[in-house]
Structure 1
Amino acid sequence: MPSLVVRNRSDIIRYIEANPRNTHRAGILFAIAMTSVFADAYDLGSLSIGVSSMSAELGLTATQVGIVTSSTAVGALLSALAGGIIADRTGRYRLFIICAVLLVIAPLGVALSVNFWMILFFRTLLGVTVGLDLPVAFSFMAELLTKDTQAKLINLWQPVASFSNIVGVAIALPFALAMATGHLWRVTCGFGALIAVIALVLRLMYSEESPLWSAKHQKLETAAKVLGTTYGIDVRVEPDGSDDRELDPNKRTYSVGELFSPRQRARTLLVSVCAFVQQLQYYGVGFYVPVIVGLIFGTDMVSTIVATICTQALSLVGGLLGVRMTSKLGLRKLGLTGYAVVLVCLLAVAVIGIGGDDLSLIPVILVAVMLAGTSFGPGPLSKTLAAVVYPTEIRGLGTGWAESMGRLGSIIGLFFFPVLLAAVGAKTTMLVIAVFPLIAITTLATTSLKGENAMRSDPSVITVGGRP
């Protein structure tokens, strides 16, 4: 086993920054952190395919359906910023375990719900849990990786999310083939609890504190132990008596205002726009893929499920391609390319229309390509950007803020899409949604990131319109 002698906290930090986190245990920890993404995305897929049976069984009105489907996003909006703040102040591990327990309880509660208020409570609880969990997970992932690999590997969250969506929808296929769809939503939502149990066991077995956070906030002996466990090395502590007990001499407690300080303001603007727009367009259209497919296939559940799986499979391919191209293009060009694809597809669907007497699959194909474009660039930017551009001291805060902005976008998409669709039709709805990727393209194009390399890790300088 390799050995390391540390004399102060700075030795630990220098080691972390200089060495790739490619050990077996670090890989396991990275995968465990990804379970947060899986749980969040699974909810989207599982409920989207079962929303019709849920509405019929519980006797929900259209407004109640909108409230229930958006309640998870509301819960996450309320808790995401708090999760980031807690993660920065108390560490990553404790909150990680608490959230894993709640991720088991919430889906079970949803599956056993008997009325509107019960399902609203448990779906809101699920959202609160995810909101707390994701900032911790992304902060943890960023601190396990080197700056050269951060953006590329964290971008894996997007194909993981697409795969989770596929699982959430595919579980319904055997029931649809057997024409047993009466309680379909209970099965698909409840299965999420089983996945969460596995995640909880893995977290209890392998999870530990982030070595970088530990080095900056815990005792030297504790930080050395965390470093040794994470990297699989023998760490010996030989204090040199240097006064490095307080790396932050002012012991600052960072508030949301820090995100809008002159140094961080441009980062926060870019992070906010990318997170908000991506979630709005994805949840506004992606969640309702089964509904859009149903406009063409009618009540044929099997065809709807298969078409939805194919759509999400193309999204998975787009996400994997985005991961592969991250190092070559950088996050900014990745985002511009993806948003351009999304914009073109939305405009094309608006021109062609959906449903009616036209049974063409072209609109479904365009929606599938739109989701692939989202997974290629906008999706990764919505979460990865915040995880890599903010320093450790406010990384949880920054990722929490990004999650809040994203959830705000998803709430608008989830709640207002069906209302807008019913009021003005598919063509106008797609035109309205198309405005948002145009805003994101404009923001990315007018935001100068000094050193494109930085967009693959941590930009030292970001300017908007040429001003710092």
Structure 2
Amino acid sequence: MTELITSAGQQATHRPDATGETAWIRQPSDVSHLVNSSTQARNNAHIVVAIALGGVFLDAYDLGALAFGMKDVAREFDLTPAAAGMVASAITFGAIIGALIGGYLTDKIGRYRVFMADMFFFVVAALACAFAPNEYVLAGARFVMGLGVGIDLPVAMAFLAEFSRLKGRGNKAASIAMWCPTWYAAISVSYLLVLVLYSVLPESHTDWLWRLILGFGAVPALVIIAIRSRYMSESPVWAANQGDLHGAAAILRSAWGINAQVASDADLRAQPRPRRAGWRNYGALLRGVYLKRTLLATVISIASSFAYNAVAFGLPVIISSFLAQSMLTTILVSLALNLLFAFVGGLLAVRLVPRLGAWRMTVAGYLCQLIALLGLALIGRPQALPEAMAAIAMLALFLFGQGFGPGSHTMTYASLSYPVSLRGVGVGLNQTLMRASSTLSLFLFPLLTAMLDTGVFWVIVLAPLAGLIALLLVRWEPSGYDVDAEDFTDPAR
């Protein structure tokens, strides 16, 4: 085996494929075709996908890690409500800015470089949070952590899309849908960690709880950094779109085991040039066919986030009506609902999307949520055990619908609605708007709940309804469609 350094900056190892046949590359679309039609059973591409999902795991863990520790933080630093809000929201504001920057950089300098730099945000920020001497350092570290979260999602989604084949089991839509069960797994890990630490820490050291939870986020980031040099590589499709056919061929040999070689008669000057990366590409998302796709992806992402945050906020209201509202109860019920329904729904989404498509599954998920929210609104505050059990069943149905439908496929729409040249900015814009609306909704939910009590579910039901209407108006199916080919036959240019 021979080793070389591609122009993308990573090491690649030449491994001929199992058949020994040579795949000749003459133009960037040939690279996309080889990725889309790959049938190699054992290759580093699967490991790259797993590492990218590790980044998603970090995003979810860091966003949810402080959920059960804010009371301890407020007590330790003697925070006013405004200061507590500053600490709690710092990561979200960082994610809003990071998504815009990350989308641009992912398309501009490549997936590999952005992902590798992004991991250091998580390590430094997690350790700074763990040892924060005051609320200002903690808020600043959480903001930096948010930058990492925002930057990571565009690049992670690009890796998942560009290291998976087009059709069949484990296709691009299925790989991207894996972000959802990965997200819920991370949330569940944070709940389990809280539960373990809550049980073993002596009562005199409960102030260590939030520091240990936040600091633990550095561990998976360090693991990813440790294995990156062996398995990670640049996206071959992105490298080819930059005109680096030799680098793309080297990555195909390394990651897929395909004996890809650049043909002697390849002439990039005769080929259509993909769109160059730049800030102006955010405007391209609002032109031609991409306008409808952008509007659809944005509406379903905002609707999904709004409804999920509202139900998560309303959970203690429902539980407190028939169970003693303790920290332990909240942890256990939240963990059970996430694992048994949201996580399982996400796994089914991964399994079924190649066959059913993202559109049908998202519609089905929103219908489940409509039924669940209408049920919760009609039940109101449960007065007896049967009503309380019915409310829990409605919560379970809502979370299952979230995992099965919009929770999984909002990212499918955000990632696979755009070709390689627009994928980073597409996910970046989607996440910026979604995070901004999520921040606003989390601010409004306590006010609405105070005014309406469980009647707030009549308001929340508007979110899945809006998602359904958008899907019925724009019947766009991204699963199984070769959107990357649009870089050379771009209808928006």
- Structure 1 length normalisation: TM-score? 0.89
1:194 equivalent in alignment to 2:216: no
Task: State the Cα distance separating 1:130 from its structure 2 match.
Answer: 1.1
Aligned partner of 1:445 in structure 2 is 472
User: How far apart in 2 are the matches of 1:455 and 1:241?
Assistant: 31
Inter-CA distance 34–265: structure 2 relative to 1 (3 Å threshold): same
**Contact 1:284/1:412, CA 8 A, preserved across alignment:** no
**Contact 2:277/2:421, CA 8 A, preserved across alignment:** no
Task: State the Cα distance separating 1:264 from its structure 2 match.
Answer: 0.9
Structure 2: runs of 5 or more not aligned: 1-15, 485-491
Aligned partner of 1:30 in structure 2 is 49
1:285 equivalent in alignment to 2:311: yes
1:60-85 CA distances to partner (integer Å, 9 max, x unpaired)? 33444344333222211112122111
- Paired residue secondary structure (1:133): helix
Aligned partner of 2:245 in structure 1 is 220
1:93 equivalent in alignment to 2:112: yes
Aligned partner of 1:399 in structure 2 is 427
1:367-389 CA distances to partner (integer Å, 9 max, x unpaired)? 33322211110111221212112
Structure 1: runs of 5 or more not aligned: 461-467
**Contact 2:380/2:454, CA 8 A, preserved across alignment:** yes
- Write the mapping of 1:178-257 to structure 2, written as runs, cut at 5 A: 178=200, 180=203, 181-240=206-265, 242-244=267-269, 247-248=272-273, 251=276, 253=278, 254-257=280-283
1:340 equivalent in alignment to 2:367: yes
**Contact 1:383/1:403, CA 8 A, preserved across alignment:** no
Aligned partner of 2:462 in structure 1 is 435
Q: Paired residue for 1:263, among 289, 293, 297?
A: 289
**Contact 1:293/1:308, CA 8 A, preserved across alignment:** no
**Contact 1:353/1:427, CA 8 A, preserved across alignment:** yes
Task: State the Cα distance separating 1:335 from its structure 2 match.
Answer: 1.0
**Contact 1:76/1:127, CA 8 A, preserved across alignment:** yes
Task: State the Cα distance separating 1:357 from its structure 2 match.
Answer: 9.3
Q: Which moved more, 1:354-363 or 1:221-230?
A: 354-363
User: How far apart in 1 are the matches of 2:442 and 2:157?
Assistant: 24
Inter-CA distance 108–330: structure 2 relative to 1 (3 Å threshold): same
1:388-430 CA distances to partner (integer Å, 9 max, x unpaired)? 1211111111111121122123212333323433x32531332
Alignment-mate amino acid for residue 423 of structure 2: R
The alignment's C-alpha RMSD in Å is 2.8
- Paired residue secondary structure (1:19): coil
Inter-CA distance 383–251: structure 2 relative to 1 (3 Å threshold): closer
1:305 equivalent in alignment to 2:323: no
User: How far apart in 2 are the matches of 1:243 and 1:458?
Assistant: 21
Aligned partner of 1:138 in structure 2 is 157
Alignment-mate amino acid for residue 155 of structure 1: A
Aligned partner of 1:323 in structure 2 is 350
User: How far apart in 1 are the matches of 2:314 and 2:219?
Assistant: 25
1:33-85 CA distances to partner (integer Å, 9 max, x unpaired)? 10121011112442222233223223333444344333222211112122111
Aligned partner of 1:169 in structure 2 is 191
Inter-CA distance 458–15: structure 2 relative to 1 (3 Å threshold): closer
User: How far apart in 1 are the matches of 2:397 and 2:97?
Assistant: 32
Aligned partner of 2:487 in structure 1 is none
User: How far apart in 1 are the matches of 2:324 and 2:134?
Assistant: 27
Inter-CA distance 167–295: structure 2 relative to 1 (3 Å threshold): farther
Q: Paired residue for 1:350, among 372, 377, 382?
A: 377
Task: State the Cα distance separating 1:9 from its structure 2 match.
Answer: 3.2
1:68-119 CA distances to partner (integer Å, 9 max, x unpaired)? 3332222111121221111112111111110011111112222222333222
1:10-37 CA distances to partner (integer Å, 9 max, x unpaired)? 4434433432465420110000010121
- Paired residue secondary structure (1:48): coil
**Contact 1:290/1:305, CA 8 A, preserved across alignment:** no
Alignment-mate amino acid for residue 297 of structure 2: V
Alignment-mate amino acid for residue 214 of structure 1: A
User: How far apart in 1 are the matches of 2:289 and 2:241?
Assistant: 21
- Paired residue secondary structure (1:264): helix
**Contact 2:342/2:401, CA 8 A, preserved across alignment:** yes
Inter-CA distance 89–21: structure 2 relative to 1 (3 Å threshold): farther
**Contact 1:37/1:161, CA 8 A, preserved across alignment:** yes
**Contact 2:234/2:251, CA 8 A, preserved across alignment:** yes
Q: Paired residue for 1:74, among 76, 93, 116?
A: 93
- Count of residues paired in the alignment: 458
Inter-CA distance 208–370: structure 2 relative to 1 (3 Å threshold): same
- Paired residue secondary structure (1:248): coil
**Contact 2:316/2:325, CA 8 A, preserved across alignment:** no
Identity, in percent, stands at: 32
Alignment-mate amino acid for residue 9 of structure 1: Q
Task: State the Cα distance separating 1:345 from its structure 2 match.
Answer: 1.9
Inter-CA distance 430–116: structure 2 relative to 1 (3 Å threshold): farther
- Paired residue secondary structure (2:136): helix
1:386 equivalent in alignment to 2:404: no
Inter-CA distance 13–373: structure 2 relative to 1 (3 Å threshold): closer
**Contact 1:350/1:426, CA 8 A, preserved across alignment:** no
Inter-CA distance 47–265: structure 2 relative to 1 (3 Å threshold): same
- Paired residue secondary structure (1:126): helix
Inter-CA distance 69–356: structure 2 relative to 1 (3 Å threshold): farther
Q: Paired residue for 2:176, among 147, 154, 176?
A: 154
1:196-234 CA distances to partner (integer Å, 9 max, x unpaired)? 211222223321100100111143322222221121234
Task: State the Cα distance separating 1:303 from its structure 2 match.
Answer: 2.2
User: How far apart in 2 are the matches of 1:44 and 1:292?
Assistant: 24
Alignment-mate amino acid for residue 363 of structure 2: L
**Contact 1:143/1:210, CA 8 A, preserved across alignment:** yes
- Paired residue secondary structure (1:151): helix
Alignment-mate amino acid for residue 197 of structure 2: F
Aligned partner of 2:27 in structure 1 is 9
User: How far apart in 2 are the matches of 1:245 and 1:131?
Assistant: 37
Q: Paired residue for 1:426, among 453, 460, 468?
A: 453
Q: Paired residue for 1:106, among 111, 117, 125?
A: 125
- Structure 2 length normalisation: TM-score? 0.85
- Paired residue secondary structure (1:6): strand
Aligned partner of 2:437 in structure 1 is 409
- Paired residue secondary structure (1:401): helix
Alignment-mate amino acid for residue 326 of structure 1: V
